[in-house]
Amino acid sequence: MPSVELSFDPRLDLLFQSEVDLSPAQIWAAWTQPEHLLHWFTPAPWTTVECEIVLQAGGIFRTVMRSPEGQEHTHSGCYLEIIENERLIWTDALGPGFRPALEPFITATIALKPLGPGRTLYTATARHRDETARQRHEEMGFTAGWSKALEQMVAHMQQIQAQAKPA
């Protein structure tokens, strides 16, 4: 049984939506396979230097981002719902095994809707506990960050696809 329908509250939540020239399966692979995620997840000039994924409810989703100067930022959470090629939900309010986390901030949802061959409506939602957290996330550059990461994802996955085709 899938989870309850998630409400969107504009006072508390942030939304990023874009039409993308990738199939839902390509975007799903980009989000759930570390070898892809390492290439696009962090907006340049920062990079993703570690990625740990256990793609199961309660499983860890952990990334380490690094700045050009070597500053590192670790983000750790766990998956809540996994519907292949359709919807991925995770939160940093819980750690692996659903244990309450020390620094809860968001619950994130990636929803994928096919728009035709090789084209997808990509919807990312960040849900927060209060207006302050939402505002902080917006000021951290939510929209620019997710937009830049998505551009990097499309470039990476299209490159993979081009390489996979016979010459």
- List interacting residues with a copy of itself (CB under 8 A): 1-7, 12, 54, 56-59, 80-82, 89, 91, 93-102, 104-107, 127-130, 133
Shortest Cβ 96–a copy of itself spacing (Å): 7
The residue (of 106 and 112) whose beta carbon lies closer to a copy of itself is: 106
Minimal distance, residue 62 CB to a copy of itself, in Å: 14
In whole angstroms, the minimum distance from the beta carbon of 127 to a copy of itself comes to 5
How many Cβ atoms sit within 10 Å of the Cβ of residue 3?
12
Q: Please identify, using beta-carbon distances, which residue of 65 and 82 lies nearer to a copy of itself.
A: 82
Closer of 36 and 134 to a copy of itself (Cβ):
134
Q: How far is the CB of 56 from a copy of itself (least distance, A)?
A: 5
Distance CA 86, CA 94 (A): 22
Say if residues 36 and 26 touch (Cβ distance below 8 Å).
no
b or e along 149-159 (b: 16 or more beta carbons within 10 Å of the residue's beta carbon)? Answer: bbebbbebbee
- Residue 70 burial by CB count (10 A; 0-12/13-18/19+): exposed, middle or buried? exposed
- From residue 46, alpha-carbon distances to 7, 19, 138 in Å are 32, 25, 19
Query: Cβ closer to a copy of itself: 5 or 139?
Result: 5
Closer of 63 and 107 to a copy of itself (Cβ): 107
CB of 75 to a copy of itself, least distance (A): 14
The 3-class SS string of 37-64 reads HHHHCCCCCCEEEEEEECCCCCCEEEEE
